[in-house]
Structure 1
């Protein structure tokens, strides 16, 4: 694969990394061993048995219309043990972010940075004031509730967002602190807790605040099943809130906004909950092992994470964009540099957690980084080794 091809791919997708499909098409036959560290995915779910069932029913799934949203919502509510009147389903969490912005954000929104880009980009596109609260690198991008609340009140923000765990650093705020955050801001128009990666948290049991959201007048909790289940391709997310907020969101969504594949997976969940829980345990072990491998490079800074990805800061001699191209061309690894995230630079990279065999290829790429011409010897990477315990819960 030519260097010019990779540069073109990354330039064409400046706002986000190129998709697995676009990279695979560009690579041609070489794509057979392409490994994706870019999109954080659950590699252990669905199981092979579940994929087999989906393949058996693929003709029916593709040929017929899905059920309407209410039927699928009732099924998911039963699995989650929530009132269906408190759930809205959407074609990915980004669809929900779009409608939250259009329906519930009138003038201003507070967002910590760095975080998931749509929380800043979407309201800016619709002319809202975005109050950005900078998470400090010196504090490992830790969000401190009292400082964030004081910032929101000082700025006069009417809506506040908190991603937990945060993307791209994987920082986690204990459940009691998130509840305190919601209570401190009970006078706001809206508080959104984005829990897209909360199922990967190992630091405490039952980290979600969804049950608390349904009894509060101004709180929405956002979820992403695509990320949790390793099925980004079906584009599926949902929100949990009190019935009044839920009706407002649901009323704006198209009647058939979910596809039949998403419906099929949701109806399989009740029988495969144990396999899903096992997949989370396997991924937590992979996160620990991958963190352990990366911190062996003493010039890398590896941040503690409770999500299914790790944020890494490269040494000053390396640029993330060039490093992404190198890993793709020389090792067939698709990776993500964070230069397009507000609050970060291209010196930062986010690696999705992957199984040992793929991590070995990433480690090999790190050892051979001198071939970029950035340094005369293999990269020596500086880490926060003392953070290992925090990163593994």
Structure 2
């Protein structure tokens, strides 16, 4: 892969700054559907916590992130000894791969591009297990188990980005069991799990003590709308937790992010309201997209929807550019391994914002 092609393959959504620079620096009036961030925005409790903590930036942040880890432990019902706090989940993804140094990694595709990027940066070779659009990109656990020979690490997004595919914990345990027998690490990315109403059927958190080959990555930036602050955590076996702590920057989570995380995890009203609104709006948006000519959306599980545009005659790049001229940003998914140039992804926003997306899509397609 050339340097230019590799750079293109790791483009992300949500780059409103580049969009603004192309248009003279103005962000006013743009609706960003390219990043999967909670449409309710910053919670008042989090804003207040950040404001009150500003004076603390004259001090180094807590190396152990004790208060933040206590909040994570309480909210997610996991022991503190399993938690490594991170400057976003992606930071810990890189720390993890550089610590474990896998030689060959299995990635069901399409998937979040940073799995490949982090593994490659640590010197690993990549093996893809391509998911089928004819089957709504569903994971075939039996097939994945049959692909374990010769790899030492597997990545699973649950829910998967960009497809929205969701595995139950029972399905994942089959993979974990087979991988443990073969000495293979399984990295389960649960960064969008907070959007699920009642995640007990899906999260691997209860399996942490049973499977020392399990790593759970979790972002707090999506659900709590703080991507500019960067906050996440990893849940691992205690021995690996110690290794991750030794390998990372000791001050990797800044004071404002720690304060924001504590406030966010205790804001029950915001959490409940977010899940209810996002789940309600995703169903409405999915049904409305299905009604548009030539548009084929895939069933969503959380706050984003993958769409095949082939029958519209618009490629993803063309549709992205056309909508950007109308102040709507969408994610061109053509750089994902396993997807053609006719796939886009849109975030689920509030009702009025979703209506604007639908209106402008319809204008373009008709």
Q: Do the two structures share a fold, i.e. TM-score over 0.5?
A: yes
Distance 1:34 1:313 in 2: 23
Is the CA contact 2:192–2:302 (under 8 Å) kept in the aligned structure 1?
yes
Distance 2:58 2:29 in 1: 32
The answer to whether the aligner puts 1:169 opposite 2:163 as a matched pair is yes
Mapping of residues 6-25 of structure 1, within 5 Å = 15-17=10-12, 19-25=15-21
1:236 Cα deviation after fit: 1.1
SS at 2:143 equivalent: helix
Q: Say which of 199, 211, 217 aligns to 1:222.
A: 217
> 2:193 aligns to what?
198
Moved more, 88-97 or 78-87: 78-87
1:362 Cα deviation after fit: 1.1
| Post-superposition CA distance 1:20-47 (Å, at most 9, x none) | 2232343347531111101100122532
> 2:247 aligns to what?
252
Distance 2:199 2:9 in 1: 37
Distance 1:270 1:38 in 2: 25
The answer to whether the aligner puts 1:112 opposite 2:112 as a matched pair is no
The answer to whether the aligner puts 1:76 opposite 2:72 as a matched pair is yes
Is the CA contact 2:104–2:125 (under 8 Å) kept in the aligned structure 1?
yes
Q: Normalising to structure 2: TM-score of the pair?
A: 0.91
In structure 2, relative to structure 1, the CA distance for the partners of 1:221 and 1:312 (3 Å cut) is same
RMSD: 2.2
Give 5+ residue unaligned stretches, structure 2.
Answer: 1-6
1:125 Cα deviation after fit: 3.3
Distance 1:161 1:334 in 2: 28
| Post-superposition CA distance 1:354-374 (Å, at most 9, x none) | 11111111112211215xxxx
SS at 1:342 equivalent: coil
Mapping of residues 178-189 of structure 1, within 5 Å = 178-187=172-181, 188-189=183-184
Mapping of residues 24-173 of structure 1, within 5 Å = 24-28=20-24, 31-51=27-47, 53-54=48-49, 56-57=51-52, 59-71=54-66, 72-153=68-149, 156-173=150-167
Distance 1:116 1:219 in 2: 19
Distance 1:279 1:259 in 2: 25
In structure 2, relative to structure 1, the CA distance for the partners of 1:204 and 1:241 (3 Å cut) is closer
1:264 Cα deviation after fit: 1.1
1:137 Cα deviation after fit: 1.5
> 1:321 aligns to what?
317
